């Protein structure tokens, strides 16, 4: 037989459980009301907001990585090049990796920007040599330092401020990656549209 004290404790627990359920119900009611009102006024359930906070993948990412970003080796990072539909799509600029999955169609195999996905392509972002596969890497040797700073700053700003992209970590190059010859000089690159 249970003693009085234990009964009382169970009652208390029951009460707490009920109040948690009450609060959750209240919150979901408010969220629903919010969505209905928003839809009434803006024809969107989020008051016209279309940023990453409505992406469950982003909410999951920030709640699971509150204080630290993962690092990727070059080989690990290469998996996120859009060829595997089960994996997100990442690009990296100057070592900082961004989730660009929302525009997966742009980066899929066969798409225009496929070669940017799954690796750090700082070099081609600086010199614009999109027609040269050997320029899609992070090797900045031989490039003008002023151009490097200007272009990388511009691209970082672009990815950081994009409403649907977010930082997912850092790409770390393999040890000794700069031991060989630098990629061949390319001076007939394009000025990228829209980003300076």
Ligand X SMILES: *[C@@H]1O[C@H](CO)[C@@H](O)[C@H](O)[C@H]1NC(C)=O
Beta-strand pair 71-73/166-172 = parallel
Which residues does residue 166 pair with via DSSP β-bridges, in sequence order?
99
Interface size with ligand X, residues (CB under 6 A) = 6
C-alpha separations of 30 from 21, 36, 39 in Å: 14, 10, 14
- Shortest spacing between CB 94 and ligand X, in angstroms: 4
The CB-of-122 to ligand X minimum distance in angstroms stands at 8
Q: Does 74 bind ligand X (CB under 6 A)?
A: no
Residue 172, burial from CB neighbour count under 10 angstroms (0-12, 13-18, 19+): middle
Backbone angles phi, psi at 99, to 5 degrees: -85, 120
Binding mask 156-195 toward ligand X (x if CB under 6 A, else -) reads x---------------------------------------
In the complex with ligand X, the residue whose CB is nearer, 10 or 149, is: 149
Q: Is 143 in the site for ligand X (CB under 6 A)?
A: no
Name the site residues for ligand X (rule: CB under 6 A).
94-95, 149, 152-153, 156
């Amino acid at each position: 037989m249970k003693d009085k004290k234990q009964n009382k404790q169970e009652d208390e627990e029951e009460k707490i459980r009920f109040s948690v359920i009450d609060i959750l119900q209240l919150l979901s009611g408010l969220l629903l009301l919010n969505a209905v009102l928003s839809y009434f006024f803006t024809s969107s359930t989020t008051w016209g907001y279309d940023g990453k906070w409505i992406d469950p993948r982003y909410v999951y990412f920030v709640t699971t990585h509150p204080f630290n970003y993962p690092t990727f080796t070059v080989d690990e990072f290469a998996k996120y090049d859009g060829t595997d539909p089960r994996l997100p799509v990442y690009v990296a600029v100057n070592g900082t990796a961004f989730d660009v999955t929302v525009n997966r169609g742009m980066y899929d195999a066969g798409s225009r920007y496929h070669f940017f996905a799954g690796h750090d392509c700082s070099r081609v972002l600086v010199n614009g040599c999109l027609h040269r596969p050997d320029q899609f890497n992070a090797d900045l040797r031989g490039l003008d330092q002023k151009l490097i700073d200007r272009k990388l700053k511009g691209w970082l700003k672009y990815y950081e401020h994009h409403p649907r992209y977010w930082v997912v970590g850092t790409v770390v190059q393999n040890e000794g990656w700069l031991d060989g010859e630098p990629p061949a000089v390319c001076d007939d690159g394009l000025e990228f549209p829209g980003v300076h």
